[in-house]
Amino acid sequence: MFVIVMYDVHVKRVAKVLKTCRRYLYWVQNSVLEGEISKADFAALKRELAEIISPDHDSVLFYTFRTTRYTSRESIGIQKGGEDRFL
Amino acid sequence: MVEKSLYIFSNGELKRKDNTLFFETTEGKKFIPITTVREIFLFGEVTFNSKVLDFLSQQQALVHYFNHYGYYSGTMYPRERIVSGDMILRQAEHYLDTSRRVAIAQRFVQGAAQNLRRVLKYYQGRGRDVENPLDKIESLIPSVSSYDDVNQLMAIEGNIREAYYQAFNSILSNAYFRFEGRTKRPPKSPLNALISFGNSMLYTTVLSEIYKTHLDPRIGYLHATNFRRFTLNLDVAEIFKPILVDRIIFSMIDKGMLKASHFVKASEGIFLNDAGRGAFVKQWDERLQQTIQVRELGRSVSYRRLIRMELYKLEKHLLEEKVYVPFAARW
């Protein structure tokens, strides 16, 4: 599956959330990561994030797609990150 | 599991950082999610330390490295995670018993020949003159089962492949990619450079898949097991060379995706340069993820998965559960 993660958390926890997400997904821009992920890894990621955030103050959103076939993505301005497996 | 490959062409440093992979070059930095990486191909000059190696082993990711000319040099093969004493004994048992070894070797040759034939059939359907090589291959296939010596099998495999290569000039219309005999170490023509490079990509990919099974890559059947290298991946690769490597080569040449500027002359041979390797590897990666309908299963699977299924079939054969029938492409 494909997932887009966005987070809005207290500054004290931003780095922790980012580091956790980076292990599973590609950083796209500040507070946004995306990538293909297995169901098991997605569950693990959510579990890890739940441990870090404060449920009363922070917010994390997950948009999931079974496939990206019927989606499109446009962007304007500079490209900051994203998936790249050919370095 | 999302299984993806990471290909590094640039020079830089690979690090373990924040419990994931981090690649740093003079141009920039990049984090790579470790949970998706199952193998890394190193073509560039990459420095790394034992901390990364330990991390990659722990994550069960393989690292294949290639030298300056794109020759495969080796693999960091992490400690086997799924070991089965029983499977190793079965593998050895089938190797040591000549009749059983030949039975498996024959199937690799037959499978390879079938798929070579299928590729030529496709081009025959598109009006290319491949009549003679095709007839030759078809006349040789039935004889494979009559050889009970591995060296003879290697020889007949060589004859079939030679006939197959004769068709290359009818298939390829681009004069730059003429086939004038197979040359290796070093390849002497752009087409030979492509075949060699493509084959080594296949060998390493099969090796990565073997790692995910109980099989031991050191015990092969068609290719003699020796003290130096992995051989089982060479055996299994024979089945997939025509349908993966050769098809990518034909399609890339046909579409004009490869030019003289993708090759360099060096040490009395011709090699792909970074741009050429990059172009090929992109197609390679896409092809492995491409899915095809498998009639026996009634569903579609990716080519990478197909390689793994071939290994499972081999495991079943070794355990004497089901006789191994090599994958035969249908188009």
More confident residue, B79 or B51: B51
**pLDDT at site B225:** 65
**pLDDT at site B322:** 92
**pLDDT at site B209:** 93
Which among B57, B88, B40, B111 is positioned nearest to B309, based on CA atoms?
Answer: B111
- State pLDDT tens for residues A21-47: 999 999 999 999 999 999 999 999 999
pLDDT band at B63 (very low <50, low <70, confident <90, very high): very high
**pLDDT at site B226:** 63
**pLDDT at site B264:** 87
Long-range contacts of B54-59 (CB under 8 A, 24+ apart): B55/B16, B55/B21, B59/B34, B59/B35
Angstrom distance (rounded) from CA A4 to CA A61: 8
> Percentage of chain A with pLDDT > 70?
100
**pLDDT at site B185:** 81
Angstrom distance (rounded) from CA B296 to CA A30: 47
pLDDT band at B1 (very low <50, low <70, confident <90, very high): low
Q: At what angle do helices B150-166 and B98-125 cross, to 10 degrees?
A: 10
Taking CB atoms and an 8 Å limit, are A19 and B282 in contact across chains?
Answer: no
CA distances (Å), origin B29, targets A20, A27, A44, A67: 18, 12, 26, 29
**pLDDT at site B64:** 94
Task: Say what the alpha-carbon torsion angle B187, B192, B195, B200 is, to the nearest 10 degrees.
Answer: 0
Taking CB atoms and an 8 Å limit, are B2 and A37 in contact across chains?
Answer: yes
- State pLDDT tens for residues B122-138: 998 888 888 888 888 88
**pLDDT at site B228:** 61
**pLDDT at site B15:** 94
Taking CB atoms and an 8 Å limit, are A37 and B35 in contact across chains?
Answer: yes
Residues 21-40 of A with CB under 8 A from B: 22-27, 35-38, 40
Handedness of CA B213, B217, B218, B222 (dihedral sign): positive
Averaged over B297-323, what is the pLDDT? 93
Give contacts of B274 with chain A, Cβ < 8 Å: none
- Whole-number average pLDDT of chain B: 90
Angstrom distance (rounded) from CA B71 to CA B60: 24
**From B45, which residue of chain A is nearest by alpha-carbon distance?**
A87
**pLDDT at site A29:** 93
Residues making up the binding site of A for Mg(2+): 8
**pLDDT at site B10:** 92
**pLDDT at site B111:** 94
CA distances (Å), origin B248, targets B59, B97, B253: 31, 37, 8
- State pLDDT tens for residues B180-239: 888 888 888 899 999 999 999 999 999 999 999 999 999 999 887 665 678 899 999 999
The residue to which tokens 């492995």 are assigned: B288
Beta bridge partners of B39: B5, B62
Chain A closest CA to B179's CA: distance in Å? 30
**pLDDT at site A83:** 86
- State pLDDT tens for residues B77-93: 888 778 888 899 999 99
Q: Which of B18, B36, B278 sits opposite A19 (nearest CB)?
A: B18
pLDDT band at B283 (very low <50, low <70, confident <90, very high): very high
Beta bridge partners of B272: B263
Taking CB atoms and an 8 Å limit, are A23 and B1 in contact across chains?
Answer: no
In the numeric block, which tokens belong to residue A49?
């994030």
**pLDDT at site B79:** 84
In the numeric block, which tokens belong to residue B271?
């090699």
Helices (H), ranges, A1-87? 11-22, 39-52
The ipTM estimated for the assembled molecules is 0.88
Averaged over B154-169, what is the pLDDT? 90
**From A33, which residue of chain B is nearest by alpha-carbon distance?**
B33
CB B49 within 8 A of CB B21: no
